[in-house]
């Protein structure tokens, strides 16, 4: 089995008290013009204590995630318009452009928590 020692894991917790988030940088650090962030695995889960469904959108952007469009958009690794309490969703493998961080836009996880786990590495651009 080949092991990539540059790959790391990260957890992000959005609690009810944090409220809704818009274009929140959830990356491990700022990505420079000479680097790219690579997401190998990602998942979002909403705990059972939540009392409302939560929209979750995660993708690569320098500042603002691109809105969904019929023609399609680049860089989104996880999107669910109505994640139910007690459920979760896996995302996609993705490679950001140089200078792009991983960003989160989500509704407030009312009375509960939204947890995001991902496995990543930072590579030369």
Matching residue, tokens 């200078």: 99
DSSP assignment of 6-61 equals T-EEEEEEEEGGG--EEEEE-SSS---TTEEEEEEEEEEEE-TT--S-EEEEEEEE
pLDDT band at 6 (very low <50, low <70, confident <90, very high): confident
Q: Report the DSSP pairing between strands 35-46 and 88-90.
A: antiparallel
- Domain extent listing, the chain: 8-124
The pLDDT assigned to 4 comes to 62
Mean pLDDT confidence for 3-17: 89
CATH of range 8-124; options 3.30.160, 2.60.120, 1.20.950, 1.10.20: 2.60.120
pTM, entire model: 0.93
pLDDT at 67 over 60: yes
How many helices (H) and strands (E) in the chain? 0, 9
pLDDT, tens digit, for every residue of 27-44? Answer: 999 999 999 999 999 999
pLDDT, tens digit, for every residue of 86-117? Answer: 999 999 999 999 999 999 999 999 999 999 99
């Amino acid at each position: 089995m080949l092991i990539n020692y540059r790959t790391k894991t990260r957890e992000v917790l959005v609690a009810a008290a944090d409220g809704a988030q818009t274009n929140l940088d959830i990356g491990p650090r700022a990505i420079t013009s000479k680097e790219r962030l690579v997401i190998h695995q990602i998942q979002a889960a909403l705990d059972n204590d939540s009392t409302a469904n939560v929209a979750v959108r995660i993708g690569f952007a320098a500042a603002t995630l691109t809105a969904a469009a019929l023609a399609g958009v680049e860089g989104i690794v996880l999107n669910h318009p109505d994640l139910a309490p007690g459920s979760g969703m896996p995302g996609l493998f993705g490679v950001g452009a140089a200078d792009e961080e991983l960003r989160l836009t989500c509704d407030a996880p009312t009375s509960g928590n939204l947890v995001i786990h991902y496995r990543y590495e930072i590579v030369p651009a």
